[in-house]
C-alpha cells in the first residue's frame, strides 16, 4: 500500500511539473516566437470573447465586413484575416467578419452597382431578390441597377422580398428632321434647336413672291431620322431682302 501511495505521489508531482512547464515555457513559445505572435482561432466565437483573446495576445482588431446568417446570432465571428496559426507582429490588427443582428438591418443602396453586386449584397443580408426588371437608361450602362423597390436606409428584415430594375443600356433615341420650308429664318432656327439640330450655312436667293428671309430649301430632307446624340448641321437657303 505504501509503495502504491509513493507511486501516486510521484505521478502527481510529475503531472504538476508538466503543467507548469507547459503553461510557463511551451505555451509562451507557441504564442510568441521570435518576437512574433501566433494568431488565435476566433471563428465561431462571439465578439466579446474574441476581443478578450486578442487583448491577452497584445493584438488589435477591426471589423472588415458584416454578413447575415439565419442560423447564427448577431455578433459572432464568421471569418478572420490573417488566418489562425499565422505569425504576426505585436499590435497587428486582425480583420474580423461578424454576423449581423437581424434588428440592425438597413436597406443597402444598390443604385449604380452591377446586378451581380446587388445580388451578393442582398444575399449577405438574408434578403430575397424576388424579381429583376429591365429598362432602358441613358445614364447607366447595361446590367447596372437603376431602381430598387425599397429605398436605401429604410429598415428591412431577413426574408423580405426586394425587386430591382437593371439597365438595358441607352435607348435607341432618334430625331427627325422637321419641315422648314416657308418659315422665317428665326422660326426655322428655333424649330431646328427644338428637334436637336443645329443651323449650318445660310445662302440667299431672290424670290419676289416670298417675304425676305424665308426658307426656300434645306440641305437635309424633311422626315429623315438620325441618332439623337449625333450633331447634324442643316444648311438653309432663304430669300434675299428686296
CATH number of 174-239: 3.30.10.20
What are the residues facing 142 on neighbouring strands?
none
Pairing of strands 93-99, 60-67: parallel
What are the residues facing 138 on neighbouring strands?
none
Yes or no: say if 68 and 126 are a contact pair by the CB < 8 Å rule: yes
| Topology, domain 2-101 | Trypsin Inhibitor V; Chain A (3.30.10)
CATH number of 105-167: 3.30.10.20
Within the chain, which residue ranges are assigned CATH 3.30.10.20?
Answer: 2-101, 105-167, 174-239
Element at 190 (helix H, strand E): helix 185-194
Q: Is pTM beyond 0.75 here? A: no
Q: How far is CA 140 from CA 112, 167, 170, in A?
A: 7, 6, 8
The alpha carbon of residue 38 and the mean position of all alpha carbons in its chain are separated, in whole angstroms, by 34
DSSP 8-class letter at 149: S
DSSP 8-class letter at 102: G
Sequential pLDDT tens for the chain (242 residues): 555 555 566 656 666 666 555 555 555 555 444 578 999 999 889 888 998 999 999 999 888 888 877 667 778 898 999 999 999 998 999 999 888 776 667 899 999 999 999 999 998 888 889 999 998 887 888 899 999 999 998 888 777 899 999 998 877 778 899 999 999 999 999 999 999 899 999 999 988 788 999 999 999 999 999 887 788 999 999 998 76
Amino acid at each position: 500500500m505504501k509503495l502504491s501511495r509513493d507511486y501516486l505521489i510521484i505521478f502527481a508531482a510529475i503531472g504538476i511539473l508538466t503543467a507548469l512547464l507547459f503553461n510557463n515555457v511551451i505555451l509562451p513559445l507557441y504564442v510568441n516566437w521570435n518576437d512574433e505572435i501566433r494568431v488565435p482561432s476566433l471563428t465561431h466565437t462571439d465578439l466579446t470573447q474574441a476581443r478578450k483573446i486578442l487583448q491577452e495576445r497584445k493584438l488589435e482588431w477591426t471589423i472588415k465586413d458584416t454578413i447575415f446568417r439565419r442560423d447564427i446570432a448577431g455578433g459572432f465571428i464568421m471569418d478572420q484575416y490573417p488566418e489562425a496559426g499565422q505569425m504576426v507582429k505585436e499590435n497587428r490588427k486582425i480583420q474580423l467578419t461578424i454576423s449581423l443582428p437581424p434588428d440592425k438591418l438597413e436597406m443597402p443602396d444598390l443604385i449604380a452597382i452591377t446586378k451581380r453586386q446587388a445580388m451578393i449584397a442582398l444575399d449577405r443580408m438574408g434578403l430575397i431578390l424576388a424579381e429583376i426588371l429591365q429598362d432602358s437608361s441613358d445614364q447607366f450602362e447595361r446590367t447596372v441597377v437603376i431602381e430598387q423597390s425599397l429605398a436605401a436606409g429604410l429598415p428591412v428584415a431577413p426574408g423580405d422580398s426586394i425587386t430591382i430594375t437593371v439597365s438595358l443600356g441607352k435607348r435607341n433615341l432618334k430625331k427627325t428632321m422637321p419641315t422648314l420650308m416657308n418659315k422665317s429664318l428665326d422660326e426655322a432656327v428655333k424649330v431646328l434647336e427644338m428637334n436637336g439640330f443645329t443651323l449650318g450655312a445660310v445662302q440667299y436667293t431672290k424670290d419676289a413672291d416670298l417675304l425676305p428671309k424665308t426658307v426656300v430649301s434645306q440641305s437635309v430632307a424633311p422626315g429623315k431620322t438620325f441618332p439623337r446624340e449625333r450633331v447634324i448641321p442643316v444648311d438653309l437657303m432663304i430669300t434675299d431682302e428686296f
